[in-house]
Structure 1
Amino acid sequence: MLSDQVIANIDNALRTLTGQQVGSDRPYPAQGIPDALLRPWERQRAGRMMRVNHAGEIMAQALYTGQATGTDDPALRAQLQRARAEEGDHLRWCEARLRELNSRPSLLAPLWYGAGWGMGFLAARRGRASNLGLVVAVEHQVEEHLNSHLDALPAEDHRSRAIVTQMRNDEAGHAEKAEALGAGKLPAPVRMAMGVFSRVLTRGALWL
């Protein structure tokens, strides 16, 4: 029913934006790893980078929610919801690391959520291939971004590195599943626009 979908979408948005996502309840990747990051400026740098990752995970929640809402394929909807649960783990892990670093989420989180939901819903309405194609394009983009963070994070920040590494592996798995299910390639202008928006998100979340 439409009313059920509306309630579910509002619930997911509120949980995402207020730090109440549970995800699939996987354990924290940094558990048991000593926090060896002692220099204040390095903790500030790591905190800003994890804020960018957190903003990306807010957008991932919105993307998958919009995609699941927009599709008429029950099996695909279930697949998208499973991926969203894993992204919920990422969100929870990033929030935990932000607290450890005495940092905070992006102040622009509602903007990231709204943009992500709209992008996901529109892709879903274009059909199965486009819906899955968005998953592939976004996850490859995120995988590349997380690799760059592994290069840029302070060498001693083993806790953040453990989180980012698990996130990267999950993103690659989501892309592989979408490709196996018949993802289509998004048009070049769409991919270019996604790249521009990714840079806007990164710059915005880094400071705000």
Structure 2
Amino acid sequence: MTTARVQTPLDHLLTEAQRALDTVFGNPAAARPNPAGDTPEVVLEPTETRHAAGLMRINHVGEVCAQGLYFGQAAVARDPATREHLLAAAQEETDHLSWCADRLRELGSRPSLFNPLWYAGSYTIGTLAGLRGDGWNLGFVVETERQVEAHLDEHLETLPPADQRSREILKVMKVDEARHADHAEHAGARKLPFPIPSVMALASKAMKTIAYRI
């Protein structure tokens, strides 16, 4: 009988490093089809194209941050069920990351130059949240996803009316984010105390301002 190999700390470190490299510099494949599918591409005005690209770059950064947050939380989660919940959510975020990257290419644009910084910061926050315990871990998921839902609503309203390809992607992302938050709540998430949600919102606003342009 073959005995399963026990993973060492070095194995875990290499796994986390590979995840970071794939997220920031790679082109992870989506497990689900792109929601834009057969939605026809429409020629946008130059100002509309720049605006749509800026919004989709923000959303791409959001998915880079989500990957860092979830992987950091999963790395220190105490309950195997919580870890599996986080990794399952991360897989759907990988879909979002891939779809946003596809759309940026279609718009003739690129991801944020600061993606390594966004990932590293989010991974650190996720690890610190996870060390507080699984209830706090899941609480960060809920607050993060609710804030993401809000900014997706804003983007759906402000995208150029003709940009239906971006809109189809964001609509599916919004449904997924709401489901992640609901599942985390049902799994025992703790409500984050003041001022953590406000600090998260301020950090998100700064990230969106920078990512829209760079």
TM-score, with structure 1 as normaliser: 0.97
Cα separation, 2, equivalents of 1:207 and 1:149: 15
Deviation at 1:38, TM superposition (A): 2.5
Alignment partner of 1:149 is 2:141: no
Cα separation, 2, equivalents of 1:115 and 1:106: 15
| Alignment counterpart, residue 21 of structure 2, candidates 6, 10, 14 | 14
Cα separation, 1, equivalents of 2:29 and 2:69: 17
Deviation at 1:3, TM superposition (A): 1.5
Deviation at 1:20, TM superposition (A): 2.6
| Alignment counterpart, residue 166 of structure 1, candidates 172, 182, 207 | 172
Alignment partner of 1:3 is 2:40: no
| Contact kept? 2:142, 2:185, Cα under 8 Å | yes
Of stretches 184-193 and 90-99 in structure 1, the one that deviates more from structure 2 is 184-193
Aligned residues: 207
Cα separation, 2, equivalents of 1:62 and 1:139: 14
| Contact kept? 2:44, 2:163, Cα under 8 Å | no
Cα separation, 1, equivalents of 2:26 and 2:204: 22
The percent identity for this pair of structures is 46
> 1:3 corresponds to which letter in structure 2?
L
- Note the 1:113-192 alignment, pairs <5 A: 113-192=119-198
> 1:114 corresponds to which letter in structure 2?
A
| Contact kept? 2:73, 2:86, Cα under 8 Å | yes
Deviation at 1:6, TM superposition (A): 0.7
Q: Which residue number in structure 2 is paired with residue 79 of structure 1?
A: 85
| Alignment counterpart, residue 46 of structure 1, candidates 24, 36, 52 | 52
Cα separation, 2, equivalents of 1:21 and 1:125: 28
Q: CA RMSD in A?
A: 0.9
Deviation at 1:85, TM superposition (A): 0.3
Q: Which residue number in structure 1 is paired with residue 103 of structure 2?
A: 97
Give the gaps of 5 or more residues in structure 2: 1-7
Secondary structure at the counterpart of residue 10 of structure 2? helix
Give the gaps of 5 or more residues in structure 1: none
Q: Which residue number in structure 2 is paired with residue 204 of structure 1?
A: 210
> 1:18 corresponds to which letter in structure 2?
F
Cα separation, 1, equivalents of 2:67 and 2:169: 17
Deviation at 1:121, TM superposition (A): 0.6
> 1:95 corresponds to which letter in structure 2?
A
Deviation at 1:22, TM superposition (A): 2.5
Alignment partner of 1:108 is 2:114: yes
| Contact kept? 2:29, 2:94, Cα under 8 Å | yes
Cα separation, 1, equivalents of 2:208 and 2:44: 25
Deviation at 1:19, TM superposition (A): 3.0
Cα separation, 1, equivalents of 2:152 and 2:56: 10
Tell me the alpha carbon deviations over residues 151-191 of structure 1, each in whole angstroms, 9 at most, x when there is no partner: 00001100000000000110000000000001001111111
Deviation at 1:45, TM superposition (A): 0.9
Moved over 4 A (4+): none
